[in-house]
Amino acid sequence: MKTDTLKVVRIGNSRGVRLPAPLLARYHIKNQVSAEQRPEGILLKSVKDARFSWEETAKAMAAEQIGEFADLEKATAADGLSTLDR
């Protein structure tokens, strides 16, 4: 495992550690991290965004629409339109 040494810097009245961009990208860290306190040190983990991605949203919408159209098909089966002369 690779070990990086990071400098602790003043951020307002607090102190913090700046994480390099390649490290953020590698672990998919966007806006938040989870800090787990352990006897041997602090473990930082990325926090998954609770919102759906665009792809997940599209899949959920498609699944809903399939269910809606199935209900529509049942409802229109007895409307009598299929027996009309055209």
Per-residue pLDDT of the chain (86 residues; tens, 9 = 90+): 788 899 999 999 999 999 999 999 998 888 889 999 999 999 998 887 666 678 877 887 777 766 555 566 666 666 666 676 66
**CB of 57 within 8 A of CB of 50?**
no
pLDDT of 61: 79
Same domain, 58 and 41: no
Q: Is residue 85 part of a domain?
A: no
Q: Is residue 1 part of a domain?
A: no
What's the rounded Cα separation, in Å, for the pair 29 and 48?
Answer: 8
Q: Is 29 exposed, middle or buried (0-12, 13-18, 19+ CB in 10 A)?
A: middle
pLDDT of 68: 56
Same domain, 15 and 36: yes
Q: Which domain holds residue 21?
A: 8-46
pLDDT of 75: 62
Chain centre distance of CA 59: 13
pLDDT of 31: 85
Task: Tell me how far apart the terminal alpha carbons of the chain are, to the nearest angstrom.
Answer: 75
> Is the model's pTM score more than 0.85?
no
Same domain, 38 and 58: no
Same domain, 38 and 13: yes
If one counts the domains in the chain, the total is: 2
pLDDT of 41: 93
pLDDT of 49: 67
β-pairing verdict for 8-11 and 41-46: unpaired
